[in-house]
Amino acid sequence: MRSDEPPRPTPLRARLRHRGVLTVGSVAVLAGLLFTLNAKVSSRSDLRDAPGLRGMVTARDRQVEELAARNAVLAAEVADLVARAGVSGAEPDRANAIAAGAVDVAGPGLTVTLDDAKSEADILADPAATPSDRLVHQQDIDAVMNALWAGGAEAMSVQGHRVGSTTEIKCVGNVILVAGRVYAPPYAIAVIGPAEAMRDSLAADPLVTAYRQRAARLALTWSVTGADELVLPADIASASRLRYAQVSKQSTEGSAR
């Protein structure tokens, strides 16, 4: 070949192969740099030391208990000061206070206990049953509570938490939330009122009857026990005291013009 001839071009396949090798190598180098940088950042942060979700819930639950206890102390102090001052009309109506769960109540009543099934044998014996059938659900608790109210219940608590007019109970998985706090089974519903009338109301309620039949078939817990004296504490943790809107002074002056 003569020296003055131009160099022959590299075949297209060879050029593409060469470029592919360079691209793969570049990606590998960049990936290594990213992994190294991520490791350094993670080692410097405290994310690995952050508590898990269970720990966070436990800590918040403990904080709620502490604040609720403090709230009870302050409420008692306020009530004492009001009583000493002799303010007329400061003492709330007893019936309304009981319905709102604002005062302690004591008297005869019942405790109804519901719990999930503990054995797999009973559900395996019923092919039509599902794992959900072995759990106590919100609708089961609601049915019992409604039947007790219909039977003349005067005051009620669920898991020791007083039920007031604004108390919210909802099911989340296999636990329930009562006024925003988590409770696991067994679920105890304590109620003050006429025991015999409430027992009759439970026996006549179709939703309660359906739960009792499921409980007998799948080994869920259903028990009703009477007590000569139950003490249901006030709902000291509730922050949902009802307030009413008022017409602002500015609006009043504007309408007068």
Question: What is the mean predicted confidence (pLDDT) over 2-30?
Answer: 53
- Please report the pLDDT score of residue 233 as a whole number: 87
Q: Would residue 250 count as lying in a domain?
A: no
The per-residue pLDDT for range 147-206, each reduced to its tens digit, is 999 999 999 999 988 988 778 888 887 788 887 788 889 999 999 999 999 999 999 999
Q: Would residue 41 count as lying in a domain?
A: no
- Please report the pLDDT score of residue 180 as a whole number: 77
- Please report the pLDDT score of residue 157 as a whole number: 93
The answer, yes or no, to whether residue 1 has pLDDT greater than 80, is no
Q: Would residue 35 count as lying in a domain?
A: no
Q: What is the CA radius of gyration of the chain?
A: 33
CA angle centred on 122, ends 176 and 145, rounded to 5°:
30
Number of folded domains in the chain?
1
Q: Pairing relation of β-strands 221-232 and 187-192?
A: unpaired
Question: What is the mean predicted confidence (pLDDT) over 93-110?
Answer: 81
The answer, yes or no, to whether residue 136 has pLDDT greater than 80, is yes
- Please report the pLDDT score of residue 49 as a whole number: 44
Q: How many CB atoms lie within 10 A of CB 124?
A: 9
The answer, yes or no, to whether residue 254 has pLDDT greater than 90, is no
Task: Work out the end-to-end distance of the chain between its first and last CA atoms, rounded to an integer number of angstroms.
Answer: 108
Q: Would residue 26 count as lying in a domain?
A: no
DSSP 127: T
CA torsion 121→125→131→137, rounded to 10°? -90
DSSP 219: T
Quote the percentage of the chain above a pLDDT of 70.
61
- Please report the pLDDT score of residue 247 as a whole number: 64
DSSP H helices, the chain, are 12-44, 53-85, 94-99, 121-124, 138-150, 195-204, 206-218, 249-256
> What is the residue range of 152's domain?
92-232
User: How many Å apart are CA 72 and CA 234, to the nearest integer?
Assistant: 9
- Report helix angle 206-218 to 138-150, nearest 10: 130
DSSP 223: E
The answer, yes or no, to whether residue 113 has pLDDT greater than 90, is yes
- Please report the pLDDT score of residue 143 as a whole number: 96
- Report helix angle 138-150 to 195-204, nearest 10: 130
Q: Would residue 6 count as lying in a domain?
A: no
Please state which of the ranges 86-95, 119-128, 143-152, 159-168 shows the lowest mean pLDDT: 86-95
Q: Would residue 205 count as lying in a domain?
A: yes
- Please report the pLDDT score of residue 16 as a whole number: 46
Q: Would residue 110 count as lying in a domain?
A: yes
Q: Identify the H or E element spanning 112.
A: strand 105-115
The two structure tokens encoding residue 97: 């206070």
Question: What is the mean predicted confidence (pLDDT) over 45-61?
Answer: 63
The answer, yes or no, to whether residue 39 has pLDDT greater than 80, is no
pTM across the whole model: 0.60
Farthest CA pair distance, the chain: 122
Q: Which residues contact 190 (CB under 8 A, 6 or more apart)?
A: 109, 110, 111, 156, 157, 160, 230, 232
The answer, yes or no, to whether residue 214 has pLDDT greater than 80, is yes
Provide the CATH number for the domain around residue 139.
3.30.70.1880
Average pLDDT along the chain: 75
Q: Would residue 67 count as lying in a domain?
A: no
Are 162 and 104 contacting, i.e. CB atoms less than 8 angstroms apart? no
Tell me the residue type at 223. Answer: S
Nearest to 187 by CA among 151, 136, 129, 153: 136
